Structure 1
């Protein structure tokens, strides 16, 4: 009995201690807020200022800049469509802003980002593969399709530069990024043809067979059939 009473006494003491501690904890938090109210006000005020600056930058500066960039770029895009890559790249004509100028003058806009892709393709067609790779790597693809196009274009640049292993890897990556009848057989075909050129006939046969079997209604399937007949002789 005495042991039970002793245990009960200890339990009561713990309950009392717990009850006494709770107000103390509350007091400490309130005390901290009271003593640091000025500092906390500065922090809240600072966050408000940052939010205001971000809003101002995005809607008062960047949005109008975006419209200007889109307007400026349409002439360069028109020249690009006509295969006038050198003129589209640099503003040789005072009335036209080239892609390089748009990248510099409208930094941070979506149009400037798109201009990096255009610049990469221009350099690729002009035979400047180092700059093509440079600008394509700077381009941030906003969706799956443009990411595939970027990867495939990098493959073209490395292939033309002579780095066939790197190009082959990029073609395979571009083909695997999505499964459709447009980009998948297109880049598989590039991978197969490059494998054939590199003397990797078994790899080429495997890829051509994949194209012929999975994408029979495509132009690449017809080409694959011809190469398979040649490689299996």
Structure 2
């Protein structure tokens, strides 16, 4: 900060005259710096004063967007998600009973189309597709179609299902592989079995889809790839059901190379 000096003040003489001049120059430079800062601050204040209306509009728009987002989640998205889960209960119950093996086809169809005044899985996807329940309905619908041999719709709905779950993710991809096998589209089947393998490593889904991928690869004449998958089952999942006769599969792949 510049120092106030009385009128007529003279700097005290030193041994070197140049030192006094340097001190004066330093004071002058400091004053220039503060003047520059003051000018910059004044310009910033002038800009804010001249653009207040625009600034307040931007702040207002940002606030409206934030409040709108919070309001949407609180009053629209959350109630809709809860409503979808309530609709889902009946269809999921039909699906679970079908998996247990009692009247399978009719129960899968009830799960898909609905019953007792409740929506079916496909309707839930259509009406609540953006909710977690709507997403999960894609999985159940895809698996129901797979089990009722409607393989095209199985691929469609399973393909629309999204998850990071370590088991459901691979099963959805593997289900698409199964559907493509039935549609006799073996390259696509291999692709989705490999996606199922890559989606998660666990003792349940990984050896299952390794074996399916290897068998399809063998059918496509890709013996090297088949052998690689068989060998991984033998080395990494030796206690799995898929490993029980793995040496037979390995021998077949080696002989066809």
User: What TM-score, normalized to structure 1?
Assistant: 0.83
Q: Distance in 2 between matches of 1:44 and 1:142?
A: 37
In the superposition, relative to structure 1, how do residues 171 and 56 fare at CA in structure 2: closer, same or farther (>3 Å)? same
Q: 2:54 aligned with 1:32, yes or no?
A: no
Backbone CA RMSD of aligned residues: 3.0
More helix by share: 1
Name which one, 1 or 2, has greater alpha-carbon Rg: 2
Q: Distance in 1 between matches of 2:164 and 2:184?
A: 29
Q: How does 1:61-210 map to 2 (within 5 A)?
A: 61-81=76-96, 82=98, 83=104, 84-91=107-114, 93-210=115-232
Check conservation: 1:120, 1:135, Cα contact below 8 A.
yes
In the superposition, relative to structure 1, how do residues 9 and 136 fare at CA in structure 2: closer, same or farther (>3 Å)? farther
Q: Distance in 2 between matches of 1:124 and 1:79?
A: 15
Deviation at 1:230, TM superposition (A): 5.1
In the superposition, relative to structure 1, how do residues 173 and 10 fare at CA in structure 2: closer, same or farther (>3 Å)? farther
Q: Distance in 2 between matches of 1:53 and 1:164?
A: 48
Q: Deviations over 1:151-178 (max 9, x none)?
A: 2222222222222112212212321333
Q: How many residues align?
A: 232
Other structure's SS at 1:87 match: helix
Deviation at 1:19, TM superposition (A): 3.5
Check conservation: 1:141, 1:150, Cα contact below 8 A.
no
Deviation at 1:107, TM superposition (A): 3.5
Q: Distance in 1 between matches of 2:28 and 2:192?
A: 72
Q: Distance in 2 between matches of 1:140 and 1:60?
A: 25
Unaligned runs of 5+ in 2: 1-22, 99-103
Q: Distance in 1 between matches of 2:192 and 2:175?
A: 9
Deviation at 1:231, TM superposition (A): 5.1
In the superposition, relative to structure 1, how do residues 128 and 14 fare at CA in structure 2: closer, same or farther (>3 Å)? farther
Deviates more, 1:181-190 or 1:154-163: 154-163
* 1:50 corresponding residue in structure 2: 65
Unaligned runs of 5+ in 1: 1-7
